[in-house]
Amino acid sequence: MTKFSDLGLHPKVLSAVSDAGYETPTPIQAGAIPPALQGRDVLGIAQTGTGKTASFTLPMITMLARGRARARMPRSLVLAPTRELAAQVAENFDIYAKNTKLTKALLIGGVSFKEQDALIDKGVDVLIATPGRLLDHFERGKLLLTGVQIMVVDEADRMLDMGFIPDIEKIFQLTPFTRQTLFFSATMAPEIERITNTFLSNPEKIEVARAATTSENIKQGVVLFKSSRKDRQAKEKRMVLRSLIDSEGEACTNAIIFCNRKTEVDIVAKSLNKHGYNAAAIHGDLDQAHRMRTLDGFRDGSIRFLCASDVAARGLDIPNVSHVFNYDVPTHSEDYVHRIGRTGRAGRKGTAMMICVPADEKYLAQIEDLVKQEIPRIETPELPEAPSRSRRKPRDEDGEKPANKGRKPREKSEEAAEKPAEEKRENRSRSRRGGRGNGRSQGEPVVGLGDHVPAFLLRSFKAPKPEPKVEAESEPAPAEGAAETEENGSN
């Protein structure tokens, strides 16, 4: 059986590996370390959880043991797709390089530029970074990559497949052509492998297991769930998740729950906490300090359930994860391999369960086609009946609605009851003529103008009806001729 002492590593590195409790290398380590020590390019493909990080960290420390870094010119570069994976590589470097004087710098987002610049100015042997933050330092004139001797791309398929291709190509152009390049990943699709051929020169390909295979130590299952109503799917799906957790009982010591969307991560975490489950969320929108505190809490057991997006699916080494729940079916079939690879690590047993709604069955078929096996079906747990939300009042046996209870029937005011019908008709007539809504009869004072009301406001503009003329009864006046005749006759 091959041992680490047979791989040609530096004695100080072997001492650190022994102190860490490792004696026998994994297949990917045994296959990748010798050609890496020879200076050859390496393309390593192996299942997640098989120790790929040590496959490039150990030979890198051995080769960098001789020499010294200059200011702003790192001697080696490790690229990782996420901050958490980069931080984990840095932790592994500290473990295996504790007996050497090699220095490192971690360039990730969420950390002050000033602190990182101070480390780079002193000179570092190993630079561990995410592509975005690395280019930020370079564009600010704080970093030179012309001294890079060894370049490592961890999770290569993710780096090349998820929008990092332009950044990766730019970084490769900034490094010397004579560099040594190491690519490591759990999956390597044929089209991605063709892209790696442009970055690697006659690489040594180590494939210890068929790409995109799942560990035999992981018990898998999927629930084909269909909600009672479309508008209740999200709520009932969270009920199914809690039922699956309860069905595992004490066997579920801790678990990672994967969701496809960041907003769903927060919703599921809040729902679990509301129902008494100790859960916390982690995704890319959270600041780095919060994410690291959450991961540390999950590692030390103070957090039982970690609700995560795919930021936690790649490369994170949390060895004691008992369960993985895929709350959403991953849209990329390769992500399923990485997700369930968080459990069943280092020879331990693990359980992976997934909830599949009808809209995600096409993604389930792609996953089964990738892993070349059918995922066993789990019976959908029974859900409690939800109370009806109908606001309709129940009818009695005769089909009639019951009378209102506790409410007094509306009664018309005495004033409205006594109001003559003629006055009501007059108000309606006046409202149609333009006095809408005032309800004020002629001669009432106008509210708001005080005691004095201008006369023109009280004046009616309705033309008064003409009064008929009455003629007084009187004798007709005599004519002039008759008056004169009467006067003459009297003379």
Highest mean pLDDT among 164-173, 180-189, 434-443: 164-173
Nearest 5°: CA angle at 427, between 424 and 429? 110
Are 84 and 130 found together in one domain?
A: yes
* Whole-angstrom distance, CA of residue 264 vs CA of residue 220: 23
Are 233 and 253 found together in one domain?
A: yes
Are 136 and 228 found together in one domain?
A: no
- φ/ψ region of 114 (left if φ > 0, alpha if ψ in -120 to 50, else beta) reads alpha
Report the pLDDT averaged over residues 419-446. 54
Are 294 and 241 found together in one domain?
A: yes
For residue 246, the number of C-alpha atoms closer than 13 Å in the C-beta half-sphere is 13
Q: By mean pLDDT, which of 40-49, 114-123, 257-266 is the weakest?
A: 40-49
Is residue 401 classed as helix, strand or coil in its secondary structure?
Answer: coil
* Whole-angstrom distance, CA of residue 193 vs CA of residue 378: 36
Q: How confident is the model at residue 309 (pLDDT cuts 50, 70, 90)?
A: confident
* Whole-angstrom distance, CA of residue 122 vs CA of residue 115: 11
pLDDT digits (tens, 9 = 90+) for 151-167: 999 887 777 666 777 88
Is residue 391 classed as helix, strand or coil in its secondary structure?
Answer: coil
As given in the structure block, the two tokens for residue 232 are 């209740």
Nearest 5°: CA angle at 446, between 426 and 429? 15
Nearest 5°: CA angle at 374, between 372 and 377? 160
**249 CB-near residues (< 8 Å, 6+ apart):** none
Q: Global pTM?
A: 0.62
Does residue 338 lie within any of the structural domains?
yes
Does residue 111 lie within any of the structural domains?
yes
pLDDT digits (tens, 9 = 90+) for 388-412: 444 444 444 444 444 544 444 455 4
Does residue 303 lie within any of the structural domains?
yes
pLDDT at 112: 84
pLDDT at 453: 66
Residue 206 main-chain phi, psi, to 5 deg = -115, 115
Does residue 398 lie within any of the structural domains?
no
The residue among 207, 226, 244 that closes a domain is 207
* Whole-angstrom distance, CA of residue 55 vs CA of residue 26: 9
Report the pLDDT averaged over residues 101-124. 90
CATH code, domain with 282:
3.40.50.300
Instruction: Name 306's bridge partners.
Output: 256, 280
pLDDT digits (tens, 9 = 90+) for 329-384: 998 887 898 888 888 876 788 999 999 999 999 999 999 998 889 999 999 887 76
Q: How confident is the model at residue 216 (pLDDT cuts 50, 70, 90)?
A: confident
For residue 81, the number of C-alpha atoms closer than 13 Å in the C-beta half-sphere is 22
* Whole-angstrom distance, CA of residue 209 vs CA of residue 194: 19
Are 349 and 201 found together in one domain?
A: no
pLDDT at 390: 47
Helices vs strands, H then E, count in the chain: 18, 14
The residue among 351, 378, 405 that closes a domain is 378
Are 199 and 229 found together in one domain?
A: no
Least Cα distance to 63 among 87, 109, 96, 21 occurs for: 96
pLDDT at 124: 93
Are 188 and 227 found together in one domain?
A: no
In total, how many domains does the chain have?
Answer: 2
At 8, which amino acid appears?
G
Are 141 and 83 found together in one domain?
A: yes
Are 55 and 140 found together in one domain?
A: yes
The residue among 178, 207, 236 that closes a domain is 207
Q: In which domain, by residue range, is 279 found?
A: 218-378
Straight-line distance from the first to the last Cα atom of the chain, in angstroms, rounded to the nearest whole number = 180
Does residue 213 lie within any of the structural domains?
no
Least Cα distance to 256 among 235, 236, 240, 272 occurs for: 272
Q: How distant, in Å, are the alpha carbons of 83, 146, 287, 324 from that of 112?
A: 14, 24, 12, 34
Are 160 and 64 found together in one domain?
A: yes
